[in-house]
Structure 1
């Protein structure tokens, strides 16, 4: 049942301006965010209240407003609205709200919902419905008429054998099977679906807590809100200690890296796809606390999670109707995919898994602890995706230097050289090496990551190979690129960060580069022979008066192409970059 402290307010009121919402703020318990469990409960309650008017008369579909319809069509979008908001109701455990979803379940399984078929969107939504029913079995499932239960089990049963796409979708039959096995429906088929899906994701586990989202090098938030969430929840709900040791152990390892992807203002890293799920990024943080498999303190878990929730609420993620829009802050089509429909943002419901922890749990009662970005400047190597994370506590920014993640297609949220918690990829190809007029970066090959450096090689410009190296210290970056296989005279353009809001972007030429011609961004150079070297200094900072960038690092290039970098603190790094080889030596 809802906590009495979670006073409701009308969905039309904005979260950030509601006096009643502000009254929950507690800067003693939560010095970083001010948020408490009461905030999470109130947000859940109001999100659920806001979608209610958009349900069909029988409650089986939720047709949320919006012009962007997914490629699955309106009926599937309506099912998505039901399933994803039901998941939120399940985490909230509000019996009154669950009653209306019980009515929708009865109608939906009586012929309203589309069937679950191979690689169809209803398989995704079946997983949310099955998980919700499993989490709330005494409150919802056990109170249904036998006929409704039989129809619902039969509808879900198609999900046991439906072929998923070869990615995180493999876990949807696992989730359906977990519930159906628990209620005794087709136990052999349910067990087979569970085993098959868990076996399939093993081929994508690359170690140190990281999965790829299917074949290739697709690293993003799906690691947390799908690849870890479903197996860990299944193991926890089934009481299988062997599985929980396996998947919970992987989650715990992953969270050590994952916690560094949040800025001091709560912003998650703007990288990857399905970013419109917004604060779903907090789900693995809560999951670690729920299962006791986390390296984070209770206060750090809540600081990071509440920070992300507040970040989005303060920036217009919820509109004046109380609905989550398709976008990032507010509406933003740049972050959408073809499968994004009006109800897609409600996978943000996963963030409320923390409400399964009782109010007296220490994750709610402990004082907020600082997160990694709050504590100190850090440059952290992340091995499996070949990323270098660069954070600065003075401005709370986190930068991700990407030398190993790409999607199967050219995607600006996967294939740029760098991302941050304060900027998003620009249409003018920020953080790129452009050969001639070709901005593409494909066939990324990781070349290693270590203390303060990361390197990779990729294809660009119709077949040329570019070896890229980044050295990072504080907020400063040295970026070096070696171009091989391009004809002499080929133009090269190196771009840096795109400034946004209070962040300041800087890019200075060091070797082989000059300011770009008027009308173009970045720095320009020309290939003069095989293995031409281009070096620049870059910085993204929100500090009001940083040391001039030219004084933050002394960079020298000798006749052999070796770089010597002396940071402002006196530490020296020597680097030799060749075609596909980077050798880094610190002194």
Structure 2
């Protein structure tokens, strides 16, 4: 896509000495924050207790959405106010002080909904609590006693309350710790049990699952690591927990820069992606808590590169607003709990403004991202992922053999139970592509999926992922394929092998005789229809700006291949296309299929790629040997 420097923001001049990679300085961050805060003022209710932004209402209703607008923007305002030592436009402070007074007036026209068990208000209360703590000298300490009492009364709905058993436990933790910090009644048991609970979800190497199961995504950084760090800034006595949280965040950040492309884009995976640059929260948290392994110049380069990436692509929009989408508004990539103010959890991406202007993260010269220095490859066994990036085009790809967003299986449960989510169930994601999420395209499930097709064309779904292996350059898993009207469960086992810029997938597929087998590669999307080419055993599609995706049959496929096109199905653009391979009639029993997948800004030559590896299968043995042109041999 074409990229304007900053289409909807007036920004300071770039500084290519301090920031040779992005040109951005702290002043750019302050300007972006100020524009976002100014832009929402026309949507405020008269007392500033709610910001009722335009867009689709969430399932919680317009009043809850209005509170969300207040709370999430208050988080951004707090970082701006505290980071400037209160030296901001006084109207900014006055707006949020007035909103606190109006929102906690139960008899008023702008009253916030009470905090009840598992209510959306719990999420928003945590943002209010953090913002109040960080701005205490300028807001809380200056509120009338009656308003402070009403704020405490509103927060008291948390005490002894029940939250959803996932990252929501931390909303109760920080909110009740704020109550403790102002001498208000609270439950130490609520706080301690919430912090104990996230320990149950820690899987090692800096990774938490968001609740029971295999729920790995950006909530690991912008919630499960972030809130314990923010909690420790409020707590008088952390009971020794902060050291553990700092150690885990340090380990997580060792790998985290590998999720970002050279253009600043984060890998597009998981839910709530409308939060966009909230993905930067753990980077800033590491610097704030002095537990980051990243050099200051790398932290700022990563953060500035990502914020600039979105700004260059029209985020915020011409009104200065964050919309429900990735670049433009795109509702099929959102969740029903998201309302028009939900994207303002992106405020967490501005956490770095709490660091003083003379902190090394703002004064050190920028350093390159890992993918800017060399090709990269990283195995992350905790979430079951492989990451690999290519320096020449700056793309990072994620191979998924572990995160499925399914509840933990019950004893004796169907191995294929669950509902598929394309943000989790696909075999691969990247910084340059998104899964097909519009219902009509998600039903087809072509992209990055190995499916059995029923005679009517219904694809099997990769719901629960059963892990087998995840180590340097190789990961494997299986899923149980279901077909309509067939009680049998067919095992589809996939091993991904990384070699240079390519992913080679080796599939062992159980299927009934006559079933069709289909595999798709990465979907590319653009404002204009991507070009498509096919040949014997390969298919390729290419966007107008030179992003190509190809699938190449190395073993076990028919010679026919095709490109599936869709419209308004992808967060990256209105026209999308996915290359895919077929086996028209499975012989029954178990078959082996080997595919090379390429996603690149290079020109791809699929017929040449068919010679990239020699495949040897052994009769009556599950072993497949891959021999690459450089002499590398891999046995699967």
1:234 is the counterpart of 2:234: no
1:438 is the counterpart of 2:448: no
Q: Which of 6, 12, 20 lines up with 1:16 in the alignment?
A: 6
Distance change (3 Å), C-alpha of 1:568 and 1:285: farther
Task: Give the match's secondary structure for 2:58.
Answer: coil
Distance change (3 Å), C-alpha of 1:519 and 1:210: closer
Distance change (3 Å), C-alpha of 1:20 and 1:407: closer
Task: Give the match's secondary structure for 1:523.
Answer: strand
Q: Is the 8 A contact 2:63 2:113 kept in 1?
A: yes
Aligned to 1:57: 46
Q: Which of 338, 341, 346 lines up with 2:339 in the alignment?
A: 341
Shift of 1:528: 2.3
Shift of 1:129: 0.3
Shift of 1:312: 0.6
Aligned to 1:555: 615
Task: Give the match's secondary structure for 2:233.
Answer: helix
Distance change (3 Å), C-alpha of 1:216 and 1:516: farther
Shift of 1:439: 3.5
Aligned to 1:571: 632
Deviations 1:457-476 (A, max 9, x none): 11113421111001012211
Aligned to 2:396: 398
1:480 is the counterpart of 2:506: yes
Q: For 2:632 and 2:561, how far apart are their aligned partners in 1?
A: 35
1:91-110 aligned within 5 A: 91-93=79-81, 94=88, 96=90, 97-110=92-105
Q: For 1:108 and 1:451, how far apart are their aligned partners in 2?
A: 53
Shift of 1:545: 6.3
Distance change (3 Å), C-alpha of 1:20 and 1:316: closer
Shift of 1:573: 1.4
Q: For 1:386 and 1:336, how far apart are their aligned partners in 2?
A: 24
Q: Is the 8 A contact 2:8 2:317 kept in 1?
A: no
Deviations 1:371-413 (A, max 9, x none): 1211211221101111111111111111111001112331000
Aligned to 1:130: 129
Deviations 1:444-497 (A, max 9, x none): 11111112110001111342111100101221111111113x322221111111
1:246-265 aligned within 5 A: 246-265=244-263
Task: Give the match's secondary structure for 2:40.
Answer: helix
Shift of 1:210: 0.6
Task: Give the match's secondary structure for 2:589.
Answer: coil
Task: Give the match's secondary structure for 1:534.
Answer: strand
Q: Is the 8 A contact 2:400 2:427 kept in 1?
A: yes
Aligned to 1:44: 33
1:396-545 aligned within 5 A: 396-408=394-406, 409-426=419-436, 427=441, 428=444, 429-436=446-453, 437-462=458-483, 463-484=489-510, 486-500=511-525, 501=543, 502-516=546-560, 521-525=579-583, 526-544=585-603
Q: For 2:460 and 2:588, how far apart are their aligned partners in 1?
A: 20
Distance change (3 Å), C-alpha of 1:351 and 1:519: closer
Task: Give the match's secondary structure for 1:25.
Answer: coil
Aligned to 1:579: none
Q: For 1:171 and 1:37, how far apart are their aligned partners in 2?
A: 30
Distance change (3 Å), C-alpha of 1:492 and 1:19: closer
Distance change (3 Å), C-alpha of 1:308 and 1:336: same
Unaligned 5+ segments in structure 1 are 1-13, 576-587
Distance change (3 Å), C-alpha of 1:237 and 1:19: closer
Aligned to 1:175: 174
Deviations 1:531-572 (A, max 9, x none): 211111111111246794234433333434532223343222
Q: Which moves more between the two structures, 341-350 or 517-526?
A: 517-526
Q: Which moves more between the two structures, 496-505 or 107-116?
A: 496-505
Q: For 1:37 and 1:244, how far apart are their aligned partners in 2?
A: 28
1:288-327 aligned within 5 A: 288-327=286-325
1:193 is the counterpart of 2:190: yes
Task: Give the match's secondary structure for 2:610.
Answer: helix
Task: Give the match's secondary structure for 2:104.
Answer: helix
Distance change (3 Å), C-alpha of 1:352 and 1:241: farther
Aligned to 2:60: 72
Unaligned 5+ segments in structure 2 are 82-87, 407-418, 484-488, 526-542, 565-578
Distance change (3 Å), C-alpha of 1:19 and 1:295: closer
Q: For 1:527 and 1:491, how far apart are their aligned partners in 2?
A: 6
Q: Which moves more between the two structures, 545-554 or 376-385?
A: 545-554
Q: For 1:20 and 1:297, how far apart are their aligned partners in 2?
A: 29
Q: Which of 355, 362, 365 lines up with 1:364 in the alignment?
A: 362
Q: Which moves more between the two structures, 251-260 or 557-566?
A: 557-566
Q: Is the 8 A contact 2:324 2:330 kept in 1?
A: yes
More helix by share: 1
Shift of 1:230: 0.3
Q: For 2:626 and 2:601, how far apart are their aligned partners in 1?
A: 24
Deviations 1:28-57 (A, max 9, x none): 111111111011000011100001111111
Q: Which moves more between the two structures, 43-52 or 251-260?
A: 251-260
- Counting matched residue pairs gives 557
Q: For 1:371 and 1:392, how far apart are their aligned partners in 2?
A: 12
Aligned to 1:159: 158
Task: Give the match's secondary structure for 2:423.
Answer: helix
Q: Which moves more between the two structures, 54-63 or 453-462?
A: 453-462
Q: Which of 209, 212, 218 lines up with 2:209 in the alignment?
A: 212
Q: Is the 8 A contact 1:417 1:432 kept in 2?
A: yes
Task: Give the match's secondary structure for 2:424.
Answer: helix
Aligned to 2:416: none
